[in-house]
Structure 1
Amino acid sequence: MAKSDLGIDLGTATFVVYQRGKGIIIEEPSVVAIDKNKKNMIAIGKEAKDMLGKTPDQIQIIRPVQDGVIADPNIIEEVLRYFIKKSNSRGFGLYKPSLIIGIPALTTDVERRAVKEAAARVGASKVFLISEPLAAAIGSEIDIAEPNGHMVIDIGGGTTDIAVLSLGGCVISETIKVAGETMDQEIVKYIKRRYKFFIGEATAERLKTEIGKAHPSEENFETEVKGQNLKTGLPSSIVINSEDILNAIRPVLNEIINKIKNILEKTPPELSADIMMNGLIVVGGTARLRGLDKLISEQTGIKTHIPEDPHLTCAKGTGILLENIELLNKVQVS
């Protein structure tokens, strides 16, 4: 494969691009701004996200991947074109790249075909699609080609993908539409209910990231947030702490853990023994929540590991496949 080849994670919350031989070159929020009159993309990533709530009528802010589903393949085509153009602008050449694209586990055959066709239209010479949990496992440095069972829990923005992997493929794989964005929504509801105070989901996401925790033993932090006092209707500010965030997201955490237990119950005994020995791997942006590994380990009785930079594991996995043709041929890539 050539140095212009790219590995791409089309995540619900974040787009991440890996350049062969260079590593991660793009990490941007999965948000796009569209000019409705001209029907073209005018901004992507942080630039588009900063426009939320501030745009005139002709500009629409879109999340191309929602709840683990590719909502608009036409926008994905523009996104892929942007990635290729930006990688070329970094001096990586003008060759037609091969692409390995990590896609949500819920993606249908029709959506997969649309992504491959979009990639071909923007100049890709070859396109390989791989499910995000499988790519994340590879990016976590798991040797998935061996007859050895591993469980990967990918808690992203829109969905939680839970997969039992062995011999290069998914033995059991299930997805629930409960993840980081659900937590943000629950934080908004909790603060509104308890403090009669209204904040936006962007503020809720910041609270979760900066002071949130998943286990009671984690250190308690607090921060001031601005919003609307619902009693007076006026702009105001209050102090929120880590315990507030934990109380808000606890139902979401419980739902994820119950699904993990459910998958463990369905796992064949031989693979269950492997998982007990190997432990659980938790990846995705929400895996950065403090104490999450401790909570899952306590609730399941299985040691739990969160790799460094868990939100980048899928893109790193596509990068490993770009560098390792033998592994690419072994794993079940579409």
Structure 2
Amino acid sequence: MSEKKLNFEYCDQLVRDFEYVVEHPIVGKSSVYYTGVDLGTACVVLAVLDENYKPVAGAYRYADVVRDGMVVDYMGAIKIVRELKQEIEEKIGTELIYAAAAIPPGTDALDSGAVKNVVEAAGFEVTNVLDECTAANNVLKIKDGAVVDVGGGTTGISILKDGEVVCIEDEPTGGTHFSLVVSGAYKMSFPEGELYKRDPKNHKELLPVLRPVVEKIASIINQHIKGYDVKEICLVGGTCCLTGIEKIIEKQTGIFTHKPQNPMFVTPLGIALSCTQQSIR
């Protein structure tokens, strides 16, 4: 079996395991728990791994506390993370201490530690803060390719060579733009368009409507991978849950494009995999 196929199987199995423990948390005697906190534009996800870095619990909530990768509702973000933390702690019967977090590629200067501060204020000891695409690649394990994280407001791209990140970029265009198009095309309010977009039953109907935005994302990818020997593209982020998005991007880029099972959970799992027992200050 090829290494590429093995990596995809590892990723998809990890996601399946996480989806299971979200509904059926594992109560055990792990000596330590590692949490990945993903503060997304549309959804906040907490992924919890045991001492062997296996999924044991998780929780998520759709929210509007982050826009374009920046925390815009600081107190609201703290409240959601704290509530999700407490929800999981009650289910597994232990306190969650250590957490890692992530920010969109290239936003280190703009973020000014806000994400780290949110996670700490929610009661965690923060052990790592990394960019979202690098976090996702902890799960994807791409050596020569591009990880594309399509979030609510932006598309983040990390280009990897021999397993090392050689370029990171973040550009506007993401799920928010999908929702705006849907609400305009169907004369819905923005919240109605957002909910309509999330329902997989509507994806076949919506794909032609959203194709221009998907092609814009593909053009962003093409712009930033130019000059690099990118052999594959992997799509992550909640926006990539749109059925068929990978086929359009593959056609527009001419590069093999893979979408993991439930791409919304790849990044939070990758964040959790980067967590340790050593806090950063």
Q: Which has the larger radius of gyration?
A: 1
> What amino acid sits opposite 1:202 in the alignment?
P
8 Å Cα contact 2:101/2:116 also seen in 1 = no
Instruction: Give per-residue Cα distances to partners, 1:114-149, cap 9 Å, x unaligned.
Output: 333343344333431111111112223x15xxxx32
Query: Matches of 1:179 and 1:117 in 2, distance apart?
Result: 25
Q: TM-score, normalised by structure 1?
A: 0.65
Distance in 2, Cα, partners of 1:210 & 1:164: 30
Matches within 5 A, 1:70-85: 70-85=71-86
**Is this contact kept in 1: 2:102–2:130, CA < 8 A?**
yes
Contact 2:219 2:252 in 1 (8 A): no
Aligned equivalents of 1:296 and 1:177: distance in 2? 17
Alignment of 1:143-222 (within 5 A): 148-166=143-161, 170-191=165-186, 198-208=187-197, 209-213=199-203
One-letter code aligned to 2:69 = G
Per-residue displacement from partner, 1:53-81 (whole Å, max 9, x unpaired)?
xxxxxxxxxx2101221113333333332
8 Å contact kept, 2:151–2:238: yes
Provide the rounded CA distance (Å) in 1 between the counterparts of 2:167 and 2:114: 25
Query: Alignment partner of 2:32: what SS?
Result: coil
Per the TM alignment, residue 182 of structure 1 is displaced from its structure 2 partner at its CA by 0.5
Give deviations 1:134-189, integer Å, cap 9, x for gaps: 1112223x15xxxx322011112222111113466532122222111201111222
For residues 246 and 122 of structure 1, the distance between their equivalents in structure 2, rounded to whole angstroms, comes to 38
The residue type paired with residue 186 of structure 1 is V
The CA distance in 2 between the partners of 1:167 and 1:248, in whole Å, is: 38
Q: Cα distance 1:162–1:90, how it changes in 2: closer, same or farther (>3 A)?
A: same
Please say if residues 101 and 119 of structure 2, whose CA atoms lie closer than 8 Å, have aligned partners that are also in contact.
Answer: no
Q: Is the 8 A contact 1:81 1:122 kept in 2?
A: yes
Q: Which residue in the other structure is 1:18 paired with? A: 47
Corresponding position of 1:69: 70
Moved more, 200-209 or 306-315: 200-209
User: What is the alpha-carbon root mean square deviation over aligned residues?
Assistant: 2.8
TM-score by length of 2: 0.76
Contact kept, 8 Å, 2:214 with 2:249, in 1: the verdict is no
CA distance in 2, matches of 1:211, 1:266: 39
Q: Percent identity?
A: 24
Give deviations 1:11-32, integer Å, cap 9, x for gaps. Answer: 1111111112244410211x2x
Residue in structure 2 matched with residue 51 of structure 1 by the alignment: none
Confirm or deny that 1:246 pairs with 2:207: yes
Between the aligned partners of 2:184 and 2:175, the Cα distance in structure 1 is 15
